[in-house]
Amino acid sequence: MKKALIFDLDNCLAAANEVGDALFEPAFEAMRQANHGTVAEEVLRQAFADVWRHPLDWVAARHGFSAAMLAAGSQAFQTIEVTGRMVGYGDLASLAELPADKFLVTSGFRRLQESKIRALQLEPLFTAIFVDAIGEPGRLGKLGLFQKILADYRLIPEEVLVVGDNADSELAAGQRLGIATVQTLRPGVPLASKATFHIHSLTGLKQLLKRLNEYTQPTG
């Protein structure tokens, strides 16, 4: 019986670029100004594209950013927030129909991620929400936050599903803990072959959850 679902936010419940390219431009420009030839322009463009799918510290390490570039980008991102409404993907109403405790774990800069959560009006839909905040002391990462959820809510891995898009982040953390993973194949999301299940919508998640719970129901 699946008692809990742990969700990612970006590219799972809402497209990361729904906020619009212009919102991130101050941070991108700050990193360009701090580059001083460390990263080629072509690599920099790819890195900025990756920011829409991965946390900045992951992107910086992957693309060889200097410490100054990461610091400049981080400082700029600390001030960025969403001030208008967001709608997310068109199936968010299905969250309320899922018969399990729901947790949201999202990586990024706290101010930005919390502003997205407010803009999407997600708070009432979740048992608890955690921001894996870049740059904060004592950061647990998604793996540590998943472990915290298991411990605090007295769950075992077999009772949980991790739902998200990113093979290197929440799906990898779930796999390390022995939790079944569900990849949301939203537009533009590359297939993660190691995910336990794949869905295209939260309606599909509702159907999957029903099948899994029926399979584990004791029979007379």
**Residue pLDDT, tens place only, 60-87:** 999 999 999 999 999 999 999 999 999 9
State the pLDDT at residue 183. 98
Give one DSSP letter per residue of 44-96, joined into a string: HHHHHHHTTTS-HHHHHHHHT--HHHHHHHHHHHTT----S----STTGGGGG
Residue with tokens 């955690």: 130
- Tens digits of residue pLDDT in 188-210: 999 999 999 999 999 999 999 99
pLDDT band (50, 70, 90) for residue 217: low
Confidence of residue 219 (pLDDT cuts 50, 70, 90): very low
pTM for the predicted model, two decimal places: 0.93
Look up residue 53 and give its two tokens. 């799918």
d(CA 205, CA 184): 9
Helices (H), the chain: 21-35, 41-50, 56-63, 67-77, 110-120, 141-152, 170-176, 202-216
Q: What is the pLDDT of residue 215?
A: 76
| CA triple 44-166-7, angle to 5 deg | 130
216 or 180: which leads in pLDDT: 180
Backbone φ and ψ of 58, nearest 5°: -65, -45
Domains of the chain plus CATH, in order, are 4-15+86-216 (3.40.50.1000), 17-77 (no CATH)
How sure is the predictor about 144, in pLDDT bands with cuts at 50, 70 and 90? very high
Percent of the chain with pLDDT over 70: 98
